[in-house]
Amino acid sequence: MHGVYSKIPFPPRHRFQSTQRPRKMAMARRGRQNAAASPAPSLALVVASLVTVFVFGFSSAITCTRADHVEGHMSHEMFGYENDATGPAKWGSLHKEWAVCGDGKKQSPIDITTVEPQKVKEPLMQAYKAGATTIQNRGHDYMLKWKDGNSKLTVHGKEYTLKQVHWHEPSEHTINGTRFDAEMHMVHEDPSMARAVVSVLLSTKAGQPNAVLTEMAPHFKNLAGKEKAEEEVKEPVDPSTWVDKTSGYYRYDGSLTTPPCTEGVIWTIMSKIGDASKEQIDLLKTVATTVEPNARPAQKLNDRIVSYFEV
């Protein structure tokens, strides 16, 4: 990540007052239409209909599962961030596959308050290369997705491939209760679909623009307010400079921060805060026609340990 960084004191002690204000989110409400009466169908028609329903349902299930593996997010229409019937507190009861959102013991994000320093220095092992990408408006965020597997991250001796990057506004992870202006998530997967996410917290405090957001800005503008719209990024995108290699980092075992909230995700949160301008943060808000936050509240740490690594 280009720009000036300010290192979080270790253990983290400072406070940062976010300028974010609560915003309302308009949720789509769909009514049901009564089916018109029709003559009894023939046996052949019934059989054909059942086959169609089975095939379509099976195909949809496969598509949903694959989307979950690749992106780790479900349709924005199915959940929200307000304190209402589809908000974070209710995610666990909205769908049976999402139960862990409510009863999981290793959920993300968290508030980082107590850390365990590691005696051995361990630089972040990234081998990123430029690659072809597409960018999509997912209704709740903008997602940059790689078409190839050029970029690798090694954690605990296991290699993960960078699949996609997306942004949350404001940040989901907090430091001593401090919430920052935005957070970038770099989502990686290994062949078994296990995930590792590298997170960079962003602040407008210094007023400096963020190089990544500057690069993505034209695409954000093209896709603003167009849910499910997607476009090709003409030039190869190189993420090799997106993370400050001199930064220490926090690491813990967590989960996806959106439904289905799958656990077993290795989180790495960089301890140096990246820069962003207010205009860039405002551009992240254009993902929906109604301005809305897309940050899940902090979850209980339970018996987990947050490790701190120097480099």
The pLDDT of 234-239, averaged and rounded, is: 96
Residue 1 scores a pLDDT above 50: no
The structure's pTM equals: 0.79
pLDDT band at 147 (very low <50, low <70, confident <90, very high): very high
Identify the pLDDT of residue 184: 98
Residue 170 scores a pLDDT above 70: yes
pLDDT band at 154 (very low <50, low <70, confident <90, very high): very high
Q: Is 73 a catalytic residue?
A: no
The pLDDT of 34-40, averaged and rounded, is: 41
Which of 2, 69, 95, 140 is catalytic? The answer is 140
Residue 91 scores a pLDDT above 90: yes
Comparing 120 with 36, which gets the higher pLDDT? Answer: 120
pLDDT mean across residues, the chain: 83
Residue 49 scores a pLDDT above 80: no
pLDDT band at 82 (very low <50, low <70, confident <90, very high): confident
pLDDT in tens, 180-199: 999 999 999 999 999 999 99
CA distances from 202 to 36, 226, 247, 276, 288 (A): 54, 25, 14, 6, 21
Tell me the domains of the chain and their CATH numbers. 72-309 (3.10.200.10)
pLDDT in tens, 257-304: 999 999 999 999 999 999 999 999 999 999 999 888 999 999 999 999
Tokens for 213? 């957001």
Identify the pLDDT of residue 83: 87
